[in-house]
Amino acid sequence: MVGLRRAKTVLLVLVVAILNTIANGAPLDPGPKGSGAAAPTGPAGTGGALDVKAAGAKGDGTTDDTAAFLAVWKTACEAAGPSTITMPKGDYLVNNIEFLGPCKGPVTLEMHGNMKAPATVGATKPNSGWIDFTNLADFTLNGNGAIFDGQGSLAWKANDCAKTGKCNSLPINIRFTGLTNSKIIGITSTNSKLFHMNVLNCKNVTLEKIGIDAPPESLNTDGIHIGRSIGVNLLGAKIKTGDDCVSIGDGTENLIVENVECGPGHGIAVGSLGRYPNEQPVKGVTVRKCLIKNTMNGVRIKTWPGSPPGIASNIIFEDITMDNVSTPVLIDQEYCPYADCKVGVPSKVKLSDVTFKNIKGTSATKIAVKLICSSGTPCTNVALADINLVHKGAEGPAVGACANMKPVLTGQMIPPACTEIAKSGP
Protein backbone atom coordinates (compact mmCIF):
# COMPACT_ATOMS: atom_id res chain seq x y z
CA MET A 1 0.00 0.00 0.00
CA VAL A 2 2.87 2.36 0.83
CA GLY A 3 4.43 1.71 -2.61
CA LEU A 4 1.10 2.36 -4.33
CA ARG A 5 0.63 5.70 -2.53
CA ARG A 6 4.16 6.75 -3.56
CA ALA A 7 3.45 5.84 -7.18
CA LYS A 8 0.26 7.90 -7.17
CA THR A 9 2.13 10.86 -5.68
CA VAL A 10 4.84 10.72 -8.36
CA LEU A 11 2.19 10.44 -11.08
CA LEU A 12 0.33 13.47 -9.68
CA VAL A 13 3.56 15.52 -9.65
CA LEU A 14 4.24 14.59 -13.28
CA VAL A 15 0.72 15.57 -14.36
CA VAL A 16 1.00 18.95 -12.62
CA ALA A 17 4.38 19.56 -14.25
CA ILE A 18 2.99 18.74 -17.71
CA LEU A 19 -0.01 21.05 -17.22
CA ASN A 20 2.27 23.91 -16.10
CA THR A 21 4.46 23.37 -19.15
CA ILE A 22 1.48 23.57 -21.49
CA ALA A 23 0.14 26.68 -19.72
CA ASN A 24 3.50 28.43 -20.17
CA GLY A 25 3.51 27.74 -23.90
CA ALA A 26 6.61 25.47 -23.93
CA PRO A 27 6.65 22.51 -26.32
CA LEU A 28 6.22 19.02 -24.88
CA ASP A 29 8.76 17.59 -27.33
CA PRO A 30 11.96 19.65 -27.56
CA GLY A 31 13.37 17.27 -30.12
CA PRO A 32 14.86 18.14 -33.54
CA LYS A 33 13.02 20.59 -35.78
CA GLY A 34 12.91 21.00 -39.53
CA SER A 35 15.70 22.96 -41.21
CA GLY A 36 13.56 25.77 -42.72
CA ALA A 37 15.09 29.26 -42.11
CA ALA A 38 13.05 32.07 -40.53
CA ALA A 39 13.66 35.69 -39.64
CA PRO A 40 15.47 35.92 -36.29
CA THR A 41 13.29 36.76 -33.33
CA GLY A 42 13.92 37.75 -29.75
CA PRO A 43 12.12 36.68 -26.58
CA ALA A 44 8.53 35.54 -26.90
CA GLY A 45 6.16 38.45 -27.42
CA THR A 46 8.86 40.88 -28.60
CA GLY A 47 10.87 41.44 -31.72
CA GLY A 48 14.06 41.51 -29.67
CA ALA A 49 17.27 42.04 -31.64
CA LEU A 50 17.02 41.49 -35.40
CA ASP A 51 20.08 41.39 -37.67
CA VAL A 52 19.63 42.21 -41.37
CA LYS A 53 22.51 39.91 -42.32
CA ALA A 54 20.85 37.03 -40.49
CA ALA A 55 17.85 37.69 -42.74
CA GLY A 56 20.00 37.39 -45.87
CA ALA A 57 21.46 40.85 -46.49
CA LYS A 58 24.97 40.78 -47.95
CA GLY A 59 26.13 44.37 -47.43
CA ASP A 60 28.60 44.04 -50.31
CA GLY A 61 27.45 47.13 -52.25
CA THR A 62 26.33 45.15 -55.30
CA THR A 63 23.72 42.60 -54.12
CA ASP A 64 20.15 43.91 -53.81
CA ASP A 65 19.40 43.71 -50.07
CA THR A 66 15.89 45.17 -50.25
CA ALA A 67 14.07 41.93 -49.37
CA ALA A 68 16.12 41.33 -46.23
CA PHE A 69 15.34 44.78 -44.85
CA LEU A 70 11.63 44.38 -45.54
CA ALA A 71 11.64 40.98 -43.81
CA VAL A 72 13.23 42.19 -40.58
CA TRP A 73 11.05 45.29 -40.58
CA LYS A 74 7.90 43.16 -40.81
CA THR A 75 9.04 41.09 -37.83
CA ALA A 76 9.96 44.15 -35.76
CA CYS A 77 6.83 46.10 -36.58
CA GLU A 78 4.51 43.21 -35.73
CA ALA A 79 6.18 42.49 -32.38
CA ALA A 80 4.21 43.39 -29.26
CA GLY A 81 7.23 44.79 -27.41
CA PRO A 82 10.29 46.90 -28.24
CA SER A 83 12.42 45.74 -31.16
CA THR A 84 15.88 46.66 -32.40
CA ILE A 85 17.01 46.12 -35.98
CA THR A 86 20.80 45.92 -36.22
CA MET A 87 22.63 46.72 -39.42
CA PRO A 88 26.27 45.55 -39.25
CA LYS A 89 29.12 47.22 -41.11
CA GLY A 90 28.85 47.10 -44.88
CA ASP A 91 27.35 48.89 -47.88
CA TYR A 92 23.76 47.80 -48.46
CA LEU A 93 22.38 48.34 -51.95
CA VAL A 94 18.61 48.79 -51.76
CA ASN A 95 15.84 50.00 -54.03
CA ASN A 96 12.94 52.10 -52.79
CA ILE A 97 11.93 50.96 -49.29
CA GLU A 98 9.04 52.09 -47.10
CA PHE A 99 9.41 51.27 -43.42
CA LEU A 100 5.69 51.51 -42.81
CA GLY A 101 3.77 51.71 -39.56
CA PRO A 102 1.94 51.91 -37.33
CA CYS A 103 3.89 49.28 -35.41
CA LYS A 104 2.71 47.42 -32.33
CA GLY A 105 5.72 48.49 -30.25
CA PRO A 106 8.65 50.92 -30.39
CA VAL A 107 11.24 50.13 -33.05
CA THR A 108 14.92 51.15 -33.07
CA LEU A 109 17.08 50.96 -36.19
CA GLU A 110 20.72 50.70 -35.11
CA MET A 111 22.98 51.38 -38.09
CA HIS A 112 26.67 50.52 -38.35
CA GLY A 113 26.73 50.29 -42.15
CA ASN A 114 25.72 52.49 -45.08
CA MET A 115 22.79 52.36 -47.49
CA LYS A 116 23.32 52.84 -51.21
CA ALA A 117 20.76 53.69 -53.90
CA PRO A 118 20.87 52.52 -57.53
CA ALA A 119 22.67 55.09 -59.66
CA THR A 120 20.22 54.87 -62.56
CA VAL A 121 17.47 57.43 -62.98
CA GLY A 122 14.20 55.53 -63.27
CA ALA A 123 10.61 56.72 -63.45
CA THR A 124 9.18 57.48 -60.00
CA LYS A 125 5.88 58.68 -58.65
CA PRO A 126 5.72 62.42 -57.88
CA ASN A 127 7.11 63.32 -54.44
CA SER A 128 8.31 59.76 -53.84
CA GLY A 129 11.25 58.78 -51.69
CA TRP A 130 14.11 56.33 -51.81
CA ILE A 131 14.01 55.48 -48.08
CA ASP A 132 10.66 56.21 -46.38
CA PHE A 133 9.83 56.05 -42.67
CA THR A 134 6.05 56.41 -42.45
CA ASN A 135 3.44 56.57 -39.67
CA LEU A 136 5.66 55.60 -36.75
CA ALA A 137 5.47 56.43 -33.05
CA ASP A 138 8.37 56.19 -30.58
CA PHE A 139 10.77 55.37 -33.40
CA THR A 140 14.53 55.79 -33.00
CA LEU A 141 17.11 55.84 -35.77
CA ASN A 142 20.66 55.63 -34.40
CA GLY A 143 22.88 56.21 -37.40
CA ASN A 144 26.27 56.17 -35.71
CA GLY A 145 27.52 58.22 -38.67
CA ALA A 146 25.87 56.01 -41.32
CA ILE A 147 25.63 57.33 -44.88
CA PHE A 148 22.56 57.23 -47.14
CA ASP A 149 24.16 57.55 -50.59
CA GLY A 150 21.64 58.57 -53.24
CA GLN A 151 24.18 58.35 -56.10
CA GLY A 152 22.55 61.37 -57.71
CA SER A 153 25.14 62.62 -60.21
CA LEU A 154 23.32 61.16 -63.22
CA ALA A 155 20.02 62.59 -61.97
CA TRP A 156 21.41 66.13 -61.64
CA LYS A 157 22.33 66.10 -65.33
CA ALA A 158 18.79 65.01 -66.26
CA ASN A 159 17.11 67.54 -63.95
CA ASP A 160 15.39 70.29 -65.96
CA CYS A 161 13.56 71.67 -62.94
CA ALA A 162 14.94 75.19 -63.41
CA LYS A 163 13.38 75.33 -66.90
CA THR A 164 10.07 73.59 -66.27
CA GLY A 165 9.38 74.34 -62.61
CA LYS A 166 8.45 70.66 -62.19
CA CYS A 167 10.84 69.31 -59.59
CA ASN A 168 9.06 66.29 -58.13
CA SER A 169 9.90 63.55 -60.62
CA LEU A 170 13.05 62.39 -58.79
CA PRO A 171 13.18 60.55 -55.46
CA ILE A 172 13.90 62.28 -52.17
CA ASN A 173 16.71 60.50 -50.35
CA ILE A 174 15.00 60.08 -46.96
CA ARG A 175 11.41 60.92 -46.06
CA PHE A 176 10.09 61.06 -42.50
CA THR A 177 6.30 61.22 -42.77
CA GLY A 178 3.83 61.02 -39.91
CA LEU A 179 6.39 60.37 -37.17
CA THR A 180 5.47 61.07 -33.52
CA ASN A 181 7.74 61.25 -30.47
CA SER A 182 10.73 60.02 -32.46
CA LYS A 183 14.48 60.65 -32.72
CA ILE A 184 16.80 60.65 -35.73
CA ILE A 185 20.45 60.73 -34.66
CA GLY A 186 23.78 60.61 -36.45
CA ILE A 187 23.00 60.06 -40.13
CA THR A 188 24.40 61.64 -43.29
CA SER A 189 22.63 61.98 -46.63
CA THR A 190 24.96 62.31 -49.59
CA ASN A 191 24.42 62.91 -53.31
CA SER A 192 20.63 62.84 -53.20
CA LYS A 193 18.82 62.87 -56.53
CA LEU A 194 16.42 65.56 -55.20
CA PHE A 195 15.82 66.80 -51.62
CA HIS A 196 18.00 65.05 -49.07
CA MET A 197 15.52 64.85 -46.17
CA ASN A 198 11.84 65.66 -46.03
CA VAL A 199 10.09 65.94 -42.64
CA LEU A 200 6.33 66.10 -43.19
CA ASN A 201 3.28 65.74 -40.92
CA CYS A 202 5.47 64.99 -37.91
CA LYS A 203 4.99 65.82 -34.24
CA ASN A 204 7.63 66.03 -31.51
CA VAL A 205 10.53 64.79 -33.61
CA THR A 206 14.19 65.57 -32.89
CA LEU A 207 16.99 65.37 -35.45
CA GLU A 208 20.55 65.51 -34.07
CA LYS A 209 24.03 65.28 -35.58
CA ILE A 210 22.79 65.36 -39.16
CA GLY A 211 25.07 65.53 -42.19
CA ILE A 212 24.16 66.63 -45.71
CA ASP A 213 26.78 66.44 -48.44
CA ALA A 214 26.39 67.20 -52.14
CA PRO A 215 28.25 69.53 -54.54
CA PRO A 216 26.96 72.98 -55.54
CA GLU A 217 25.88 71.70 -58.99
CA SER A 218 23.32 69.33 -57.42
CA LEU A 219 20.17 71.24 -58.39
CA ASN A 220 17.15 71.30 -56.06
CA THR A 221 18.83 69.19 -53.42
CA ASP A 222 17.44 71.04 -50.40
CA GLY A 223 19.22 69.72 -47.33
CA ILE A 224 16.35 69.34 -44.88
CA HIS A 225 12.81 70.39 -45.76
CA ILE A 226 10.33 70.63 -42.88
CA GLY A 227 6.63 71.17 -43.45
CA ARG A 228 3.23 70.67 -41.82
CA SER A 229 4.90 69.57 -38.62
CA ILE A 230 4.67 70.63 -34.98
CA GLY A 231 7.46 70.53 -32.42
CA VAL A 232 10.39 69.55 -34.63
CA ASN A 233 13.89 70.21 -33.29
CA LEU A 234 16.92 70.23 -35.59
CA LEU A 235 19.88 70.30 -33.22
CA GLY A 236 23.28 70.17 -34.85
CA ALA A 237 23.88 69.70 -38.57
CA LYS A 238 26.60 70.22 -41.17
CA ILE A 239 25.07 70.87 -44.56
CA LYS A 240 26.76 71.26 -47.96
CA THR A 241 24.38 71.17 -50.90
CA GLY A 242 23.16 72.81 -54.09
CA ASP A 243 20.03 74.49 -52.72
CA ASP A 244 18.62 75.63 -49.36
CA CYS A 245 20.42 74.05 -46.41
CA VAL A 246 17.16 74.11 -44.45
CA SER A 247 13.81 75.02 -46.00
CA ILE A 248 10.72 75.55 -43.87
CA GLY A 249 7.40 74.94 -45.57
CA ASP A 250 3.78 75.73 -44.82
CA GLY A 251 2.14 74.30 -41.70
CA THR A 252 5.34 74.37 -39.64
CA GLU A 253 4.79 75.28 -35.98
CA ASN A 254 7.11 75.49 -32.97
CA LEU A 255 10.28 74.66 -34.87
CA ILE A 256 13.80 75.06 -33.46
CA VAL A 257 16.83 75.03 -35.77
CA GLU A 258 20.06 75.28 -33.79
CA ASN A 259 23.79 74.81 -34.36
CA VAL A 260 23.58 74.33 -38.10
CA GLU A 261 26.65 74.88 -40.26
CA CYS A 262 25.49 75.73 -43.77
CA GLY A 263 27.52 76.11 -46.94
CA PRO A 264 27.85 75.84 -49.82
CA GLY A 265 24.15 76.19 -50.53
CA HIS A 266 21.38 78.80 -50.56
CA GLY A 267 21.15 79.46 -46.82
CA ILE A 268 18.31 78.84 -44.38
CA ALA A 269 14.85 79.79 -45.63
CA VAL A 270 11.25 80.07 -44.54
CA GLY A 271 9.45 79.24 -47.76
CA SER A 272 8.89 79.54 -50.44
CA LEU A 273 5.31 80.22 -49.39
CA GLY A 274 2.23 81.08 -51.39
CA ARG A 275 2.76 79.01 -54.50
CA TYR A 276 -0.23 76.74 -53.83
CA PRO A 277 -3.78 77.34 -52.51
CA ASN A 278 -4.77 76.38 -48.96
CA GLU A 279 -1.30 76.49 -47.49
CA GLN A 280 -1.26 76.25 -43.71
CA PRO A 281 0.16 79.01 -41.45
CA VAL A 282 3.80 79.05 -40.36
CA LYS A 283 4.00 79.95 -36.66
CA GLY A 284 6.75 79.92 -34.09
CA VAL A 285 10.06 79.35 -35.92
CA THR A 286 13.40 79.93 -34.18
CA VAL A 287 16.71 79.70 -36.04
CA ARG A 288 19.70 80.35 -33.77
CA LYS A 289 23.42 79.79 -33.20
CA CYS A 290 24.18 78.96 -36.83
CA LEU A 291 27.17 79.50 -39.13
CA ILE A 292 26.45 80.27 -42.79
CA LYS A 293 29.45 80.27 -45.11
CA ASN A 294 29.94 80.91 -48.85
CA THR A 295 26.24 80.69 -49.69
CA MET A 296 23.97 82.47 -52.18
CA ASN A 297 21.75 83.73 -49.34
CA GLY A 298 21.87 83.86 -45.57
CA VAL A 299 18.62 83.75 -43.61
CA ARG A 300 15.53 84.61 -45.60
CA ILE A 301 11.76 84.50 -45.96
CA LYS A 302 10.42 84.10 -49.49
CA THR A 303 6.86 84.27 -50.79
CA TRP A 304 5.49 84.20 -54.32
CA PRO A 305 3.86 87.21 -55.99
CA GLY A 306 0.17 86.83 -56.75
CA SER A 307 -0.15 84.22 -54.02
CA PRO A 308 -3.33 83.06 -52.28
CA PRO A 309 -3.75 84.37 -48.71
CA GLY A 310 -1.33 82.94 -46.17
CA ILE A 311 0.29 83.64 -42.78
CA ALA A 312 3.84 83.47 -41.41
CA SER A 313 4.36 84.85 -37.91
CA ASN A 314 6.57 84.72 -34.82
CA ILE A 315 9.80 84.01 -36.68
CA ILE A 316 13.19 84.66 -35.06
CA PHE A 317 16.67 84.49 -36.60
CA GLU A 318 19.26 85.15 -33.90
CA ASP A 319 22.95 84.67 -33.14
CA ILE A 320 23.87 83.93 -36.76
CA THR A 321 27.42 84.28 -38.11
CA MET A 322 27.83 85.03 -41.84
CA ASP A 323 31.07 84.32 -43.70
CA ASN A 324 31.19 85.63 -47.28
CA VAL A 325 27.44 85.30 -47.78
CA SER A 326 25.44 86.98 -50.55
CA THR A 327 22.50 88.96 -49.12
CA PRO A 328 22.86 87.70 -45.53
CA VAL A 329 19.45 89.04 -44.40
CA LEU A 330 16.54 88.84 -46.83
CA ILE A 331 12.78 89.12 -46.99
CA ASP A 332 11.60 88.62 -50.56
CA GLN A 333 7.86 88.78 -51.16
CA GLU A 334 8.47 89.01 -54.89
CA TYR A 335 10.23 85.65 -55.12
CA CYS A 336 10.09 84.50 -58.75
CA PRO A 337 12.49 81.70 -59.69
CA TYR A 338 10.56 80.52 -62.78
CA ALA A 339 8.89 82.19 -65.73
CA ASP A 340 5.35 81.39 -64.55
CA CYS A 341 5.30 83.97 -61.73
CA LYS A 342 2.57 86.60 -61.53
CA VAL A 343 5.06 89.44 -61.67
CA GLY A 344 3.69 92.70 -60.34
CA VAL A 345 0.78 91.12 -58.45
CA PRO A 346 1.32 91.53 -54.68
CA SER A 347 1.81 88.49 -52.49
CA LYS A 348 -1.05 87.86 -50.05
CA VAL A 349 1.12 86.04 -47.50
CA LYS A 350 0.99 88.12 -44.32
CA LEU A 351 4.32 88.38 -42.49
CA SER A 352 4.25 89.55 -38.87
CA ASP A 353 6.46 89.50 -35.78
CA VAL A 354 9.70 88.71 -37.58
CA THR A 355 13.04 89.38 -35.84
CA PHE A 356 16.62 89.36 -37.12
CA LYS A 357 18.86 89.65 -34.03
CA ASN A 358 22.62 89.57 -33.53
CA ILE A 359 23.49 88.84 -37.15
CA LYS A 360 27.18 89.47 -37.79
CA GLY A 361 29.95 88.73 -40.26
CA THR A 362 30.80 89.46 -43.89
CA SER A 363 28.58 90.01 -46.92
CA ALA A 364 29.71 88.97 -50.40
CA THR A 365 27.31 91.55 -51.88
CA LYS A 366 27.01 95.27 -51.30
CA ILE A 367 23.38 94.90 -50.25
CA ALA A 368 23.72 93.05 -46.96
CA VAL A 369 20.17 93.55 -45.65
CA LYS A 370 17.32 93.45 -48.17
CA LEU A 371 13.71 93.62 -47.04
CA ILE A 372 10.96 93.54 -49.70
CA CYS A 373 7.48 93.23 -48.24
CA SER A 374 4.20 92.90 -50.10
CA SER A 375 2.67 96.14 -51.33
CA GLY A 376 -0.82 94.63 -50.94
CA THR A 377 -0.44 92.80 -47.60
CA PRO A 378 2.17 94.79 -45.70
CA CYS A 379 4.53 93.21 -43.19
CA THR A 380 4.00 94.18 -39.56
CA ASN A 381 6.49 94.31 -36.70
CA VAL A 382 9.64 93.33 -38.58
CA ALA A 383 12.57 94.04 -36.26
CA LEU A 384 16.31 94.39 -36.79
CA ALA A 385 18.49 94.25 -33.67
CA ASP A 386 22.27 94.32 -33.34
CA ILE A 387 23.24 93.86 -36.97
CA ASN A 388 26.93 94.00 -37.93
CA LEU A 389 27.54 92.98 -41.54
CA VAL A 390 30.47 94.37 -43.52
CA HIS A 391 31.33 94.28 -47.22
CA LYS A 392 34.85 94.84 -48.50
CA GLY A 393 34.25 94.75 -52.25
CA ALA A 394 35.11 97.39 -54.82
CA GLU A 395 31.48 98.61 -54.82
CA GLY A 396 31.99 100.19 -51.43
CA PRO A 397 30.65 99.47 -47.94
CA ALA A 398 27.54 97.40 -47.25
CA VAL A 399 24.10 98.99 -47.46
CA GLY A 400 20.58 98.13 -46.34
CA ALA A 401 17.66 98.30 -48.77
CA CYS A 402 13.91 98.16 -48.11
CA ALA A 403 10.62 98.30 -50.00
CA ASN A 404 7.05 98.55 -48.70
CA MET A 405 8.12 98.40 -45.06
CA LYS A 406 9.77 100.20 -42.17
CA PRO A 407 11.55 97.96 -39.66
CA VAL A 408 11.74 98.40 -35.90
CA LEU A 409 15.38 99.12 -35.06
CA THR A 410 17.34 98.49 -31.85
CA GLY A 411 21.02 98.28 -30.97
CA GLN A 412 23.93 98.43 -33.41
CA MET A 413 22.97 98.76 -37.09
CA ILE A 414 25.75 98.13 -39.60
CA PRO A 415 24.90 98.83 -42.35
CA PRO A 416 22.28 101.50 -41.60
CA ALA A 417 18.83 100.15 -42.40
CA CYS A 418 16.80 101.11 -45.44
CA THR A 419 19.13 103.68 -46.99
CA GLU A 420 18.21 102.39 -50.46
CA ILE A 421 15.01 101.22 -52.14
CA ALA A 422 15.12 97.44 -52.56
CA LYS A 423 14.43 95.88 -55.94
CA SER A 424 13.58 92.25 -56.63
CA GLY A 425 16.12 89.95 -58.24
CA PRO A 426 19.77 89.30 -57.39
What pLDDT digit, counting tens, does each position of 43-65 carry?
434 557 899 999 999 999 999 99
Residue 180 placed within a domain: yes
Same domain flag for 275 and 147: no
Same domain flag for 319 and 405: yes
Find the helix or strand (DSSP H, E) in which 109 lies: strand 107-111
Residue 40 placed within a domain: no
Can you give the pLDDT at residue 44? 39
Same domain flag for 263 and 205: no
Residue 136 placed within a domain: yes
Residue 227 placed within a domain: no
Assess contact for 309 and 277: CB atoms under 8 A.
no
Peptide bond into 264 cis (omega under 30): yes
Q: How far is CA 80 from the centre of its chain?
A: 29
CATH code for the domain in which residue 337 is found: 2.160.20.10
Can you give the pLDDT at residue 216? 83
The one catalytic residue in 196, 225, 266, 391 is: 266
196: left (phi over 0), alpha (psi -120 to 50) or beta: alpha
Q: Is the pLDDT at 35 greater than 80, yes or no?
A: no
Residue 29 placed within a domain: no
Can you give the pLDDT at residue 236? 98
Query: Quick one: what percent of the chain has pLDDT higher than 90?
Result: 75
Query: Quick one: what percent of the chain has pLDDT higher than 70?
Result: 86
- Rounded Cα distance between 413 and 411, Å, is 6
| Domain count across the chain | 2
Is 391 catalytic? The answer is no
Residue 1 placed within a domain: no
Can you give the pLDDT at residue 184? 98
Residue 23 placed within a domain: no
* Per-residue pLDDT tens digits for 233-254: 999 999 999 899 999 999 999 9
In Å, how far are 59, 72, 94, 311 from 305, measured between CA atoms?
Answer: 49, 49, 41, 14
Domain containing 146 equals 50-159+169-215
Total residue count of the chain as it appears in this document: 426
Same domain flag for 249 and 190: no
| pLDDT band per the 50, 70, 90 thresholds, residue 20 | very low
pLDDT, mean of residues 402-409: 98
Same domain flag for 81 and 202: yes
